[in-house]
């Protein structure tokens, strides 16, 4: 693909993310809440509305591309490109009116072996921040270049993580976190993995790990981290993300 094509894909992803975010923000409360597995994993009518907005915008512009959304959209690609998105990452924050949730959209290309993100956009509507990246073209926050921290001392790292919806798995995750807390500055859990990744990319966090994610949780964010100079390593169905100099040590702790 030409660079111009990638810019057009990024423009479309940005348009869809902003449209969905604004629609969700203006959605009237009280919202309707259902549950996917148990009461730790809610879905709201705002999630569904955001998915519809994004799907319609993409299908109108690129009807032959594949589309995969968190809330059930699954359309097979006829072009070798597919859109992977979470219309509302941080649903529990949204339910509690905590202003920390985002829309995440990536466009991936199939390389003959696997799908890899080519462009990614994450829209943090509460802060009016748009994180975006084009593969091999760097990462930006509201059009300003961003980069991960050049941290060297692991003991000074501020990390982030999120928790499984499965209560039993949380016990394992808590054990890892309690051991890791003795080795780093501190650990945060803010309720949105896509914003965790953005904050690694712009230096607000020094690393992120989570072993249980879906592609829409990390596709756009992983590209943004890499284009900001960070390293990504798979962890279960999730990822580890950090600057290069502390990445090996972070992997050693959370992969045990």
Which is more confidently placed, 218 or 38? Answer: 218
The pLDDT tens digits for 31-76 are 666 665 556 667 788 888 999 999 999 999 999 999 998 877 899 9
Report the alpha-carbon distance of residue 160 to residue 181 in Å, rounded. Answer: 11
Q: What is the C-alpha separation between 146 and 62, in angstroms, rounded?
A: 30
The 10s digit of each residue's pLDDT in 201-214 is: 999 999 999 999 99
User: Which class in CATH covers the domain with range 154-254?
Assistant: alpha beta
Q: In this predicted model, what pLDDT tens digit does every residue of 106-131 receive, in sequence order?
A: 999 998 899 999 999 999 999 999 99
The pLDDT value recorded for residue 56 is 97
Q: Is the pLDDT of residue 256 over 80?
A: no
From-to residues of CATH 3.30.540.10 in the chain: 3-145
pLDDT, tens only, 12-41: 999 999 999 999 998 766 566 666 555 666
Distances in whole angstroms, Cα of residue 188 to Cα of each of 91, 160, 237: 18, 5, 20
Q: Report helix, strand or coil for 78.
A: coil
CATH of 3-145, one of 3.40.920.10, 3.40.50.150, 3.30.540.10, 3.40.1410.10: 3.30.540.10
Q: Where in the chain is the domain with CATH 3.40.190.80?
A: 154-254
Cβ atoms within 10 Å, residue 249: 16
For all residues of the chain together, what is the average pLDDT?
Answer: 92
The per-residue pLDDT for 33 is 66
Which pLDDT score, from 0 to 100, does residue 132 have? Answer: 98
Predicted pLDDT at 36? 59
| Ramachandran angles phi, psi of 59, nearest 5° | -65, -35
Q: Please check whether residue 109 is in contact with residue 99, taking contact to mean a CB–CB distance below 8 angstroms.
A: no
Residue 85 tokens, joined: 């998105």
**Look-up: residue for tokens 């981290």?**
225
- pLDDT over 70, % of the chain: 93
Q: Give yes or no for a contact between 89 and 97, defined as CB atoms under 8 angstroms apart.
A: no
Residues 6+ apart with CB under 8 A from 237: 211, 212, 213, 214
Pairing of the two strands 207-210 and 158-161: parallel
Distance CA 32, CA 208 (A): 31
């Amino acid at each position: 693909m030409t660079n111009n094509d990638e810019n057009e894909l990024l423009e479309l992803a940005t348009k869809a993310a902003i449209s969905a975010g604004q629609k969700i923000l203006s959605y009237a409360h009280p919202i309707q809440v259902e549950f996917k597995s148990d009461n730790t994993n809610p879905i709201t009518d705002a999630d569904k509305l955001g998915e519809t907005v994004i799907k319609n915008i993409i299908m109108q512009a690129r009807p032959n591309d594949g589309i995969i959304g968190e809330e059930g959209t699954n359309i097979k690609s006829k072009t070798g490109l597919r859109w992977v998105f979470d219309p509302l990452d941080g649903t529990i924050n949204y339910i509690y009116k905590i202003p920390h949730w985002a829309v995440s959209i990536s466009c991936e290309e199939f390389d003959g072996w696997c799908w890899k993100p080519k462009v990614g956009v994450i829209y943090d509507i509460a802060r009016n921040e748009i994180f975006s990246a084009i593969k091999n073209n760097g990462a930006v926050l509201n059009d300003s270049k961003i980069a991960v921290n050049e941290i060297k001392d692991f003991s000074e790292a501020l990390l982030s993580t999120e928790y499984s919806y499965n209560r039993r798995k949380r016990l394992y995750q808590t054990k890892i976190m309690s051991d890791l807390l003795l080795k780093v500055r501190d650990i945060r859990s803010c309720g949105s993995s896509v914003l965790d990744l953005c904050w690694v990319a712009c230096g607000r966090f020094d690393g992120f790990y989570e072993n249980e994610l879906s592609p829409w949780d990390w596709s756009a964010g992983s590209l943004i981290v890499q284009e900001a100079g960070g390293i990504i390593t798979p962890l279960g169905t999730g990822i580890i993300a950090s600057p290069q100099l502390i990445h090996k040590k972070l992997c050693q702790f959370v992969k045990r």
